[in-house]
Structure 1
Amino acid sequence: MVMIEVRIKAELENVTDFQPVDIEHTWNFRVECSSCRVLSKKVDKMVMSGGRDTANMVIKCHFCKREGSLDIAEGPFPYTADDSGAMATILIVDCRGLDLKEFEPRGGWRATGTESKALFDDVDLGEMEWYDYDEEAAVPVSVKDIKCEFVVSKKKDVKKNKSKSKDADVDKSKDAGKDAGKDASKKA
């Protein structure tokens, strides 16, 4: 079992606690079969074949026919104003037979105003950036310059989440997440 930390770096302006709106968030990853290196197609949550376990994402490689899975082990964790401009872990996943290649935040995120504590529940990062205005504090707010990396977790006691995200979504588009994928790297 290989635990991978999904880490992001972003510039937060006048907001903190950037995180999914709820635990039923759809995570968007582009993955590669660790056996034959073929990129996967879009999949939904499925039951692992031949067993009782479930995973947030299970795929069967269309080339080598091997099965791989991704399961959320810990998180999501909020990305705070203190983290702004630095890499921080937002999720830990158990990857078996898959390598994470890209992460696309897309929609379904929230942030909290640093001055007013106003809640922004409609943060859509489909364009890899988000801008708004905090009327209570009379300041602009934003999440921008998002980068992602995948790092093998050094945590010893990673426990599986009891409440899991709704599913993980994999995009088969070659251009999907090209901005997020530019800085994505797998460190072993």
Structure 2
Amino acid sequence: MLTLTLTADLTGVTELRPDDTADNPFWYTFKVQCGSCREIHPNFVSVSRFEANDMSGSRGEANFRESSATIKAPPIAYQQASPPTRQKVLEFDCRGMEFTEFKPEGEWLVTGIDSGSKFTAIDLTEGDWFDYDEKAGDEVSIKDLKWEIRRN
């Protein structure tokens, strides 16, 4: 089992999570390392918890082909904390390969702490995000994102 964890400095917002529903699946993007030869594939690969593929020579299915990676449960929203704390976001069962690096491509969501304002279509590929919460009358932000993949 592998766990994707995050440490981030959230100001004025909480519940950072991918926009990941059956109608709008989030594609989690990773670098992959072969479990046999330990070679890291040069390209990033993406996996969705809503797409399962038949596995060759098996009666099971997984979210990634040949080597298998299965997302065990929906993502867990990252909660604002001061100081920022490492929190589990997603859990994977990987066989024959490992994820080594995460790229936060796709749309993310947060909620205003004091206002309950919903912020959508957040792009974290550049690392930081800044906006203004009209209801709270203050700037909100996501900074210092640190993603880590840990073996359970």
Bin for the TM-score computed over the shorter chain:
0.7 to 0.9
Please, what is the CA RMSD of the aligned residues?
1.8
Q: State the Cα deviation string for residues 78-103 of structure 1 (Å, max 9, x = none).
A: 00113761110000100111122101
How far, CA to CA, are the matches of 1:38 and 1:148 in structure 2?
21
- Within 1, Cα distance between the matches of 2:106 and 2:84? 21
The structure in which a higher percent of residues are helix is 1
Task: Give the secondary structure class of the aligned counterpart of 1:10.
Answer: strand
The list of structure 1 runs, each at least 4 consecutive aligned residues, that deviate by more than 6 angstroms after superposition, is none
Residue 151 of structure 1 and its aligned partner are, at CA, apart by 1.9
Aligned partners of 1:106 and 1:83: how far apart in 2? 26
Q: Structure 2 length as normaliser, TM-score?
A: 0.85
Residue 26 (structure 1) shift: 0.8
Q: How does 1:7-156 map to 2 (within 5 A)?
A: 7-23=5-21, 24-40=25-41, 41=43, 42=45, 46-58=53-65, 67-82=66-81, 85-153=84-152
Normalization by structure 1: what TM-score?
0.70
Amino acid paired to 2:90 = L
| Count of aligned residue pairs for this structure pair | 143
Q: Which moved more, 1:83-92 or 1:40-49?
A: 40-49
Partner of 2:4: 6
Structure 1 CA distance, aligned partners of 2:103 and 2:83?
A: 18
The letter of the residue matching 2:112 is G
Give the percent of matched residue pairs that are identical in Structure 1 and Structure 2: 37
Give the drift of 1:43: 6.0
Moved more, 42-51 or 67-76: 42-51
Any unmatched runs of 5+ in structure 2? none
Distance between the aligned counterparts of 2:82 and 2:121, measured in 1? 21
Gaps of 5+ in 1: 59-66, 154-188
Output the amino acid matched with 1:34: G
